[in-house]
């Protein structure tokens, strides 16, 4: 089985390693890199996997997942470029960094696949969007899809859509957390104890998400099914419409997409400087 190295085992990197182990990969097939020896020791004892340097990971792994923060990428890429084997596949989880940036630094012809995951990877429920770079083919995309399937769902999109993906599913969990927080506040306003309000809303969110995920119907039909004539739900919907909640969501997600484009450009400018 292929050896996989995770470069930067922070929140997302650790979630991926843990998901790979749960998905049946053997600890002997996994490597990771970390800057701090205490963190490396913690991961080695928790998962039985080996911490190595970036150079050693480049020499030993068939597939390398880069999971450092985008601002930490330069030294990692420089080290990778020195030791990478010609057939290795590089997978970037770094938000906003184009595959072309990796291709410019890594040896000519290195296949690179860009991924936008999200934080539900921590509970095995990520939504990841993958885009092949110019030297990656369908087989490389299949390998990455296989890899990420043990921590959630995977979809392939053209790289030009990654800013939209970032705004929608990359930031998406935050919008749901925000909504849940506001609904719990509403429960408090209505006089419910916080713990009760929290339980009511979190379980309603889980139930609604499960219905959507299991294909119980289109969201419009599911909402209509709980919106009876002159009932309570339609009164709430009228207020949501009056306050422009739908328009606010459209504008918010568009603003997130614009910021993602801006951050990508800022990185390109700093590379050229």
Ligand X SMILES: NC(=O)c1ccc[n+]([C@@H]2O[C@H](COP(=O)([O-])OP(=O)(O)OC[C@H]3O[C@@H](n4cnc5c(N)ncnc54)[C@H](OP(=O)(O)O)[C@@H]3O)[C@@H](O)[C@H]2O)c1
Query: Is the Cβ of residue 31 or residue 201 nearer to ligand X in the bound state?
Result: 31
Say what the alpha-carbon torsion angle 158, 160, 163, 168 is, to the nearest 10 degrees.
-40
- The rounded distance, in Å, linking the Cα atoms of 162 and 263 is 12
User: Which listed residue (5, 30, 40, 67) binds ligand X by CB under 6 A?
Assistant: 67
- The rounded distance, in Å, linking the Cα atoms of 253 and 236 is 23
Task: Tell me the CA distances in angstroms from 225 to 22, 50, 176, 214, one per residue in order.
Answer: 38, 52, 22, 16
CB of 205 to ligand X, least distance (A): 19
Six-digit token string for 204: 């309603």
CB of 173 to ligand X, least distance (A): 8
Query: Is the Cβ of residue 33 or residue 88 nearer to ligand X in the bound state?
Result: 33
Considering only residues 109 through 148, tell me which ones interact with ligand X, judged by CB under 6 A. Answer: 116-119
Query: Is the Cβ of residue 40 or residue 197 nearer to ligand X in the bound state?
Result: 40
**Residue 237, burial from CB neighbour count under 10 angstroms (0-12, 13-18, 19+):** middle
Query: Is the Cβ of residue 68 or residue 201 nearer to ligand X in the bound state?
Result: 68
Residues 124/138, Cβ–Cβ less than 8 Å: no
User: Which listed residue (35, 194, 218, 246) binds ligand X by CB under 6 A?
Assistant: 35
Residue with tokens 């911490």: 51
Query: Is the Cβ of residue 14 or residue 103 nearer to ligand X in the bound state?
Result: 14
The reply to whether 149 sits near ligand X by the rule CB under 6 A is: no
Applying CB under 6 A, the span of 43-51, 70-78, 187-195, 236-244 interacting with ligand X comes to 70-78
Residues 110/103, Cβ–Cβ less than 8 Å: yes
Contact footprint for ligand X (CB under 6 A): 7-13, 33-36, 54, 67-70, 72, 75-76, 93-95, 116-119, 170
């Amino acid at each position: 089985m292929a050896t996989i190295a995770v470069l930067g085992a922070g929140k997302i990197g650790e979630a991926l390693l843990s998901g790979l182990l749960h998905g049946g990969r053997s600890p002997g097939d996994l490597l990771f890199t970390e800057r701090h020896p205490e963190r490396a020791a913690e991961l080695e004892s928790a998962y039985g996997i080996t911490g190595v340097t970036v150079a050693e990971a480049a020499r030993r792994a068939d597939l390398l997942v880069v999971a450092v923060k985008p601002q930490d990428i330069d030294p990692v890429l420089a080290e990778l470029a020195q030791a990478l084997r010609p057939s290795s596949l590089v997978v970037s989880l770094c938000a906003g960094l184009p595959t072309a940036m990796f291709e410019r630094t890594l040896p000519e012809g290195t296949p690179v696949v860009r991924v936008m995951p999200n934080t539900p990877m921590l509970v095995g429920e990520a939504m990841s969007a993958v885009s092949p770079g110019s030297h990656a083919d369908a087989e490389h995309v299949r390998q990455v899809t296989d890899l990420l399937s043990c921590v959630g769902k995977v979809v392939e999109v053209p790289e030009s859509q990654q800013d939209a993906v970032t705004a929608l599913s990359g930031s998406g969990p935050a919008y749901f957390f925000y909504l849940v927080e506001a609904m719990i506040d509403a429960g408090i306003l209505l006089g419910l104890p916080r713990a009760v309000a929290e339980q009511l809303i979190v379980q309603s969110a889980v139930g609604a998400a499960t219905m959507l995920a299991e294909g119980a119907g289109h969201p419009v039909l599911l909402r209509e099914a709980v919106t009876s004539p002159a009932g309570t739900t339609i009164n709430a919907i009228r207020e949501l419409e009056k306050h422009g909640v739908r328009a606010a969501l459209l504008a918010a997600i568009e603003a997130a997409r614009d910021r993602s484009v801006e951050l990508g450009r800022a990185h390109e400018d700093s590379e050229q400087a």
